[in-house]
Amino acid sequence: MNPPPSTARTCLGVVLAAGEGVRMRSATPKALHEVAGRPMIVHALAALREAGASAVAVVVGPGRDDVAAAARAYFADAEIFLQSERRGTAHATLAARAAIARGFDDVLVVYADAPLLTAPSLGALREALADDVDLAALAFEATNPTGYGRMIERGGRLVAIREEKDATAAERAIRRCNAGPLAVGGAHALALLEAVGCDNAQGEFYLTDLAGIAAGRGLRAETRLAAEEEAMGVNDRVQLAAAEGAMQRRLRRKAMLEGATLVAPETVFLSADVAIGRDVVIEPHVVIGKGVAIGDGAVIHAFSHLEGAKVAGGAAIGPYARLRPGADIAAKAKVGNFVEIKAATIEAGAKVNHLTYIGDARVGAGTNIGAGTITCNYDGFGKYRTDIGAGVFIGSNSALVAPVRIGDGAYVGSGSVITDDVEADALAVGRGRQVVKPGWAKAFREKMKKKG
């Protein structure tokens, strides 16, 4: 295996993201449809960044400020270029002429609708360029090559990439197919792109023609192999679901190999950015969305849903719990069944066990929140905070009306509505006084029977 490309080599990543995605039948541009909680264009950018791209050019269609914004949200220095007319992939790549002309050592071209592409495969293309290859194209051995461009090779060299509509019968029998991404030496990139014509069945400027042009000029072109899965493009909702399934299998496997136990892996859904520690146990039917970090030894019980949350080591979540963005669960805290936490810190050893909503709040260390408790954090206009100290006991079915503070060690009687601050170690009871009328129920029944 060739050594990795030198860190001294500069690399421009060009992301083609101007496709309309008509078959998606969506108001959302294709590049922004998500796989594992991440827009497809961000998957492409992540692979480029991991492969060492030092700069990125993103080619978008007219009016696609949303695609540009998504690219810059992940890769702040991404340059945006407009392909005003859709005349093929080489034409789209040339839209980034100004970036390519800066003279990068490597130019990597990828597609925004191929979310399963991996950094090691792009790294293999860069390694080829570092080993005096002038153009390297990513290929795969197709189970069924129908619909893919074929890699035409002679003597270990790539001489052409033939689109199926333009291929001969013999060429269509070839099983080594074009995966899409390619890398070209920066010294040749513009000259090769400018030489692409449109004499083909579609009348378009194909990026794949670079291989034949390079070979015709005596340049060295080769292929590098990737898994077939990496070539999966997304053009409709069926393919989007297939890509999601493949990505989930990849993410589950990674989590387990890194030390987490997934009791029923096929029922667990993970976001691409999830961070899962060692000895974490995730029970069946758990959804872990964007922005979640789970510390070593935590347990996520069945049917829980987490998003934008932090769970520290040794904490237990669920079953049937929901952690919304801003939930911060400290070590050995417990969030139980049918509990919802939003923008709240649950400190070490605190327990929120049953049928409870905690929002815009702090729950101090060792505090116990009784079943049915809610923090009333919204008045229809603004959100307000509830601060619950350490070692507090909140009785069941209590309503804490924010803004309010419960001091350390305080006790709130069950069924209370708390609207004023409670000092440390005090008892607060906010409910109507109980009245008992002996014999009332018996007399009421007899009265009603007589009426009947």
Rounded to the nearest 10 degrees, how much is the dihedral formed by the CA atoms of 329, 334, 335, 341? -30
Alpha helices in 136-258, H assignment, sequence order: 169-172, 186-194, 209-216, 237-257
Report how far apart the first and last C-alpha atoms of the chain are (Å, whole number): 94
| Rounded mean pLDDT, 80-88 | 93
Q: What is the pLDDT of residues 161-199, one digit of tens each?
A: 998 888 999 999 999 999 999 999 999 999 999 999 988
As a whole number of angstroms, the distance between CA 37 and CA 145 comes to: 30
Rounded Cα distance, 149 and 111, in Å: 15
**Rounded CA separation 13/282 (Å):** 37
Cis before 265? omega within 30: no
What pLDDT is recorded for position 322?
98
Is the peptide bond between 115 and the residue preceding it cis, with omega within 30 degrees of 0?
no
Do 139 and 156 touch, CB atoms closer than 8 A? no
Q: Give me the count of residues in the chain.
A: 452
Amino acid type, 197: G
For residue 374, what are its two tokens? 């809610």
Q: Residues near 366 by Cβ (< 8 Å), separated by ≥ 6?
A: 347, 348, 349, 350, 390, 391
- What local confidence, expressed as pLDDT, does residue 3 receive? 43
pTM over 0.85: yes
User: pLDDT value at position 5?
Assistant: 55
Amino acid letter for position 227: A
Q: H-helix or E-strand containing 74?
A: helix 65-74
Rounded to an integer, what distance in angstroms lies between the CA atom of residue 36 and that of residue 45? 15
The answer to whether residue 76 scores a pLDDT higher than 80 is: yes
Query: Are 162 and 153 within 8 A, CB to CB?
Result: no
Q: What is the pLDDT of residue 1?
A: 39
Pairing of strands 11-17, 55-60: parallel
Asked if residues 184 and 135 have their Cβ atoms less than 8 Å apart, the reply is: yes
pLDDT tens-digit profile of 92-133?
Answer: 999 999 999 999 999 999 999 999 999 999 999 999 999 999
Which residue in 43, 91, 188, 354 is the catalytic one? 354
Q: Which of 130, 131, 19, 161 is nearest to 83 (CA)?
A: 19
pLDDT of residue 349: 98
Averaged confidence pLDDT in the chain: 95
Q: Is the dihedral of CA 20, 84, 207, 48 positive or negative?
A: negative
Output the pLDDT for position 20. 82
What's the pLDDT at 7?
58
* CB-based contact 295:315 (threshold 8 Å): yes
The predicted pLDDT at position 152 comes to 97
Domain boundaries, the chain: 11-231, 237-428
User: Residue 267 corresponds to which amino acid?
Assistant: T
Nearest to 252 by CA among 287, 226, 295: 287
CATH architecture of the domain 237-428 equals 3 Solenoid (2.160)
Over residues 367-410, the pLDDT tens digits come to 999 999 999 999 999 999 999 999 999 999 999 999 999 999 99
Please provide residue 392's backbone torsions phi and psi, each rounded to the nearest 5 degrees.
-85, 150
91 is catalytic: no
Q: Average the pLDDT over 414-433 and give the result.
A: 96
Q: Which fold has domain 11-231?
A: Spore Coat Polysaccharide Biosynthesis Protein SpsA; Chain A (3.90.550)
Q: Answer for the pair 279, 297: CB distance below 8 angstroms, yes or no.
A: yes
